Amino acid sequence: MAKDLSSLRPTSDLPLPVASSPFKGVRQRSWGSWISEIRLPRSRERIWLGSYSTPEAAARAYDVAAVCLRGPSTTLNFPKSPPAVQARQYTPKEIQSMAAEAAAAAVAAATPPPKFPPSSCTSSNLAP
């Protein structure tokens, strides 16, 4: 005896919600992480740049890749602080590596230093 499946709706026509980003080349996954990727010029291929905890880090990764692929005159997410990239041909692996370094630097720069409790050893209670 066959089951009647006519009432079931196919899931292929239900898009998953994806948050948009104010940054080019950046989108948010449904579970909250931010990803970055870039298309190769004159191609449908993409270079995966990584998954990041903040959209700013993902955007920094995109900027490095954009300069590597399209040159210093390309549109950037952060035009006031362009990445310092030498003008030459890069492999996709090199681009991924430089993008990851730029994103890590952006996260490190945005992370405040840890706050330590005041030390019990101060100059006023030290013996001369």
Place of tokens 């013996």: 127
The pLDDT value given to residue 96: 95
Report the alpha-carbon angle 60-61-65, nearest 5: 115
Instruction: Determine which helix (DSSP H) or strand (DSSP E) holds 106, and give its type and residue range.
Output: helix 92-110
Which amino acid is it at 79? P
The pLDDT value given to residue 128: 56
The pLDDT value given to residue 101: 94
Residues of the chain predicted below pLDDT 50? 14
CB 87 within 8 Å of CB 70: no
SS3 123: helix
Which amino acid is it at 126? L
Percent of the chain with pLDDT over 70: 73
The pLDDT value given to residue 121: 53
The pLDDT value given to residue 110: 74
The pLDDT value given to residue 63: 96
